[in-house]
Structure 1
Amino acid sequence: MFAKNDLKEMSRKELQKLLSDVKKALASAIARDQREAKKAATKAAAEFGFSLGEISETVETTPKKTKGKAKAIRKPSKPVFANPEDKTQTWTGKGRQPNWYRAQVEAGVAPDAMRIKSS
Protein backbone atom coordinates (compact mmCIF):
# COMPACT_ATOMS: atom_id res chain seq x y z
CA MET A 1 0.00 0.00 0.00
CA PHE A 2 1.05 3.56 -0.60
CA ALA A 3 1.29 6.14 2.13
CA LYS A 4 0.36 9.74 1.42
CA ASN A 5 4.03 10.70 1.64
CA ASP A 6 4.90 8.12 -1.02
CA LEU A 7 2.38 9.66 -3.42
CA LYS A 8 3.65 13.17 -2.74
CA GLU A 9 7.18 12.14 -3.63
CA MET A 10 6.21 10.50 -6.95
CA SER A 11 6.70 12.29 -10.25
CA ARG A 12 3.81 13.08 -12.58
CA LYS A 13 4.77 10.20 -14.89
CA GLU A 14 4.95 7.77 -12.00
CA LEU A 15 1.52 8.92 -10.79
CA GLN A 16 0.04 8.54 -14.29
CA LYS A 17 1.48 5.01 -14.55
CA LEU A 18 0.04 4.17 -11.12
CA LEU A 19 -3.35 5.55 -12.16
CA SER A 20 -3.29 3.47 -15.34
CA ASP A 21 -2.41 0.34 -13.35
CA VAL A 22 -5.21 1.05 -10.86
CA LYS A 23 -7.76 1.49 -13.68
CA LYS A 24 -6.68 -1.84 -15.23
CA ALA A 25 -6.88 -3.61 -11.88
CA LEU A 26 -10.31 -2.09 -11.20
CA ALA A 27 -11.63 -3.23 -14.60
CA SER A 28 -10.30 -6.73 -13.90
CA ALA A 29 -11.94 -6.78 -10.45
CA ILE A 30 -15.28 -5.66 -11.90
CA ALA A 31 -15.15 -8.36 -14.58
CA ARG A 32 -14.28 -11.00 -11.95
CA ASP A 33 -17.17 -9.87 -9.71
CA GLN A 34 -19.57 -9.99 -12.67
CA ARG A 35 -18.48 -13.55 -13.50
CA GLU A 36 -18.96 -14.63 -9.89
CA ALA A 37 -22.39 -12.95 -9.71
CA LYS A 38 -23.48 -14.68 -12.91
CA LYS A 39 -22.32 -18.05 -11.58
CA ALA A 40 -24.24 -17.50 -8.33
CA ALA A 41 -27.37 -16.41 -10.21
CA THR A 42 -27.15 -19.43 -12.54
CA LYS A 43 -26.81 -21.76 -9.55
CA ALA A 44 -29.77 -20.13 -7.76
CA ALA A 45 -31.95 -20.39 -10.88
CA ALA A 46 -30.98 -24.05 -11.36
CA GLU A 47 -32.17 -24.83 -7.82
CA PHE A 48 -35.67 -23.84 -8.99
CA GLY A 49 -35.38 -25.67 -12.30
CA PHE A 50 -34.79 -22.67 -14.53
CA SER A 51 -31.95 -21.41 -16.63
CA LEU A 52 -30.71 -17.88 -16.13
CA GLY A 53 -31.94 -16.99 -19.65
CA GLU A 54 -35.48 -18.15 -18.85
CA ILE A 55 -35.65 -15.98 -15.76
CA SER A 56 -34.23 -12.84 -17.34
CA GLU A 57 -36.68 -13.05 -20.25
CA THR A 58 -39.75 -13.69 -18.08
CA VAL A 59 -42.43 -11.06 -18.45
CA GLU A 60 -44.24 -10.05 -15.29
CA THR A 61 -47.53 -11.95 -15.30
CA THR A 62 -49.39 -9.85 -12.76
CA PRO A 63 -50.51 -6.43 -13.98
CA LYS A 64 -49.09 -3.43 -12.18
CA LYS A 65 -51.45 -1.67 -9.83
CA THR A 66 -52.69 1.69 -10.97
CA LYS A 67 -53.28 4.61 -8.69
CA GLY A 68 -57.01 4.85 -9.21
CA LYS A 69 -58.82 6.35 -12.14
CA ALA A 70 -57.01 8.31 -14.78
CA LYS A 71 -57.44 12.04 -14.42
CA ALA A 72 -59.94 13.55 -16.79
CA ILE A 73 -58.58 16.16 -19.14
CA ARG A 74 -59.81 19.54 -18.03
CA LYS A 75 -60.92 22.21 -20.42
CA PRO A 76 -59.33 25.59 -19.87
CA SER A 77 -61.49 27.91 -17.79
CA LYS A 78 -63.35 30.66 -19.60
CA PRO A 79 -62.23 34.20 -18.90
CA VAL A 80 -64.42 36.10 -16.44
CA PHE A 81 -62.72 39.51 -16.38
CA ALA A 82 -61.27 41.66 -19.17
CA ASN A 83 -59.07 44.73 -19.00
CA PRO A 84 -61.25 47.73 -19.98
CA GLU A 85 -58.23 49.36 -21.65
CA ASP A 86 -57.16 46.26 -23.62
CA LYS A 87 -59.84 43.62 -24.18
CA THR A 88 -57.23 41.03 -25.21
CA GLN A 89 -56.05 40.84 -21.59
CA THR A 90 -58.37 38.51 -19.69
CA TRP A 91 -58.43 36.63 -16.40
CA THR A 92 -60.47 33.61 -15.30
CA GLY A 93 -60.80 34.84 -11.74
CA LYS A 94 -58.70 31.89 -10.53
CA GLY A 95 -55.14 31.99 -9.34
CA ARG A 96 -52.97 35.04 -8.99
CA GLN A 97 -54.50 38.38 -9.97
CA PRO A 98 -52.88 39.91 -13.05
CA ASN A 99 -51.13 43.25 -12.68
CA TRP A 100 -53.66 45.02 -14.91
CA TYR A 101 -56.53 43.78 -12.69
CA ARG A 102 -54.88 44.98 -9.49
CA ALA A 103 -54.04 48.33 -11.07
CA GLN A 104 -57.68 48.83 -12.16
CA VAL A 105 -59.01 47.96 -8.68
CA GLU A 106 -56.49 50.34 -7.06
CA ALA A 107 -57.61 53.04 -9.52
CA GLY A 108 -61.16 52.62 -8.23
CA VAL A 109 -62.70 50.47 -10.97
CA ALA A 110 -65.20 48.00 -9.54
CA PRO A 111 -64.50 44.33 -10.32
CA ASP A 112 -68.06 43.97 -11.68
CA ALA A 113 -67.27 46.67 -14.25
CA MET A 114 -64.47 44.44 -15.61
CA ARG A 115 -66.65 41.33 -15.67
CA ILE A 116 -67.22 39.90 -19.14
CA LYS A 117 -70.93 39.92 -20.01
CA SER A 118 -72.11 36.47 -21.05
CA SER A 119 -74.30 36.36 -24.14
Structure 2
Amino acid sequence: MSDIDLDAMDLKDLKKLRKAVDRAIQDYQERKQAQARNAAEAAAREFGFSLEELVASKGTKKGRPTSPAKYRNPDDPAQTWSGRGRQPQWMREALENGADREDFLIERFDGGHAAG
Protein backbone atom coordinates (compact mmCIF):
# COMPACT_ATOMS: atom_id res chain seq x y z
CA MET A 1 0.00 0.00 0.00
CA SER A 2 1.36 3.40 -0.91
CA ASP A 3 1.88 6.01 1.74
CA ILE A 4 -0.56 8.89 1.51
CA ASP A 5 0.35 12.19 3.10
CA LEU A 6 -3.02 13.16 4.56
CA ASP A 7 -1.62 16.37 6.01
CA ALA A 8 -0.75 17.61 2.51
CA MET A 9 -4.30 17.06 1.20
CA ASP A 10 -6.96 19.75 1.17
CA LEU A 11 -10.49 19.17 2.49
CA LYS A 12 -11.94 18.41 -0.93
CA ASP A 13 -9.36 15.69 -1.60
CA LEU A 14 -9.76 14.23 1.91
CA LYS A 15 -13.54 13.93 1.41
CA LYS A 16 -12.99 12.38 -2.01
CA LEU A 17 -10.58 9.87 -0.48
CA ARG A 18 -13.00 9.07 2.34
CA LYS A 19 -15.78 8.45 -0.19
CA ALA A 20 -13.51 6.12 -2.16
CA VAL A 21 -12.51 4.24 1.00
CA ASP A 22 -16.15 3.89 2.10
CA ARG A 23 -17.06 2.55 -1.34
CA ALA A 24 -14.13 0.09 -1.25
CA ILE A 25 -15.17 -1.14 2.21
CA GLN A 26 -18.77 -1.63 1.04
CA ASP A 27 -17.62 -3.53 -2.07
CA TYR A 28 -15.33 -5.72 0.04
CA GLN A 29 -18.12 -6.57 2.49
CA GLU A 30 -20.50 -7.40 -0.36
CA ARG A 31 -17.90 -9.71 -1.97
CA LYS A 32 -17.29 -11.50 1.32
CA GLN A 33 -21.01 -11.85 1.93
CA ALA A 34 -21.49 -13.34 -1.55
CA GLN A 35 -18.63 -15.79 -0.91
CA ALA A 36 -20.18 -16.84 2.39
CA ARG A 37 -23.60 -17.27 0.78
CA ASN A 38 -22.11 -19.38 -2.03
CA ALA A 39 -20.27 -21.57 0.49
CA ALA A 40 -23.45 -22.00 2.56
CA GLU A 41 -25.47 -22.90 -0.53
CA ALA A 42 -22.85 -25.45 -1.57
CA ALA A 43 -22.87 -27.01 1.90
CA ALA A 44 -26.68 -27.20 1.87
CA ARG A 45 -26.63 -28.84 -1.59
CA GLU A 46 -24.24 -31.52 -0.27
CA PHE A 47 -27.03 -32.58 2.09
CA GLY A 48 -29.75 -32.33 -0.56
CA PHE A 49 -31.27 -29.01 0.51
CA SER A 50 -31.35 -25.47 -0.72
CA LEU A 51 -30.21 -22.73 1.60
CA GLU A 52 -33.69 -21.20 1.45
CA GLU A 53 -35.23 -24.48 2.67
CA LEU A 54 -32.93 -24.59 5.66
CA VAL A 55 -33.47 -20.98 6.62
CA ALA A 56 -37.25 -20.99 6.07
CA SER A 57 -37.87 -24.24 7.93
CA LYS A 58 -36.61 -22.81 11.20
CA GLY A 59 -37.80 -19.25 10.70
CA THR A 60 -40.51 -19.38 13.36
CA LYS A 61 -39.75 -19.79 16.99
CA LYS A 62 -41.51 -22.73 18.60
CA GLY A 63 -42.00 -23.21 22.25
CA ARG A 64 -44.30 -22.52 25.10
CA PRO A 65 -46.72 -19.66 24.58
CA THR A 66 -46.28 -16.72 26.90
CA SER A 67 -48.17 -16.98 30.15
CA PRO A 68 -51.04 -14.56 30.73
CA ALA A 69 -50.64 -11.85 33.34
CA LYS A 70 -51.67 -12.99 36.81
CA TYR A 71 -50.66 -9.95 38.87
CA ARG A 72 -51.06 -6.22 38.21
CA ASN A 73 -49.41 -3.22 39.84
CA PRO A 74 -52.31 -1.08 41.16
CA ASP A 75 -50.12 2.04 40.93
CA ASP A 76 -49.35 1.39 37.26
CA PRO A 77 -51.83 -1.01 35.58
CA ALA A 78 -49.51 -1.32 32.58
CA GLN A 79 -47.10 -3.28 34.79
CA THR A 80 -48.13 -6.90 35.01
CA TRP A 81 -46.47 -10.20 35.88
CA SER A 82 -47.39 -13.78 35.03
CA GLY A 83 -46.01 -15.14 38.30
CA ARG A 84 -43.29 -16.96 36.37
CA GLY A 85 -39.69 -16.00 36.07
CA ARG A 86 -38.00 -13.17 37.89
CA GLN A 87 -40.19 -11.18 40.23
CA PRO A 88 -40.55 -7.56 39.06
CA GLN A 89 -39.15 -4.75 41.17
CA TRP A 90 -42.58 -3.24 41.89
CA MET A 91 -43.78 -6.56 43.35
CA ARG A 92 -40.61 -7.09 45.36
CA GLU A 93 -40.80 -3.60 46.87
CA ALA A 94 -44.49 -3.98 47.74
CA LEU A 95 -43.87 -7.32 49.48
CA GLU A 96 -40.97 -5.83 51.41
CA ASN A 97 -43.33 -3.08 52.59
CA GLY A 98 -45.85 -5.56 53.99
CA ALA A 99 -48.17 -6.15 51.03
CA ASP A 100 -49.48 -9.62 50.28
CA ARG A 101 -48.97 -11.14 46.85
CA GLU A 102 -52.70 -11.87 46.62
CA ASP A 103 -53.39 -8.11 46.81
CA PHE A 104 -52.11 -7.88 43.23
CA LEU A 105 -54.05 -10.77 41.69
CA ILE A 106 -55.93 -9.94 38.52
CA GLU A 107 -59.56 -10.91 39.19
CA ARG A 108 -59.79 -13.65 36.58
CA PHE A 109 -57.33 -15.64 38.71
CA ASP A 110 -59.43 -16.45 41.76
CA GLY A 111 -58.45 -20.02 42.41
CA GLY A 112 -58.89 -21.18 38.84
CA HIS A 113 -62.46 -19.95 38.30
CA ALA A 114 -63.21 -17.09 35.97
CA ALA A 115 -64.55 -14.00 37.64
CA GLY A 116 -68.01 -13.15 36.60
- TM-score with structure 1 setting the length: 0.51
Give the Å deviation of 1:43: 0.6
1:18 matched residue in structure 2: 17
Q: 1:8 to 1:73 in 2, by over 3 A?
A: same
Looking at structure 2, the residues matched to 25 and 93 of structure 1 have their Cα atoms a distance apart, in angstroms, of 59
Question: Comparing both structures, which one devotes a greater share of its residues to strand?
Answer: 2
Give the Å deviation of 1:34: 1.3
Give the Å deviation of 1:3: 4.9
Match for 1:26: what amino acid? I
**Quick check: which has more Rg, 1 or 2?**
1
Kindly tell me the number of residue pairs found equivalent between the two proteins: 79
Give the Å deviation of 1:64: 3.1
Give the Å deviation of 1:14: 1.1
Aligned-pair RMSD on alpha carbons? 3.6
1:82 matched residue in structure 2: none
**Percent identity over paired residues:** 33
Looking at structure 1, the residues matched to 72 and 26 of structure 2 have their Cα atoms a distance apart, in angstroms, of 56
Gaps of 5+ in 2: 75-93, 99-116
Please, which of 67, 73, 83 is the counterpart of residue 70 of structure 2?
Answer: 73
Match status 1:51 vs 2:50 = yes
Match for 2:71: what amino acid? R
Q: 1:62 to 1:48 in 2, by over 3 A?
A: farther
- TM-score with structure 2 setting the length: 0.52
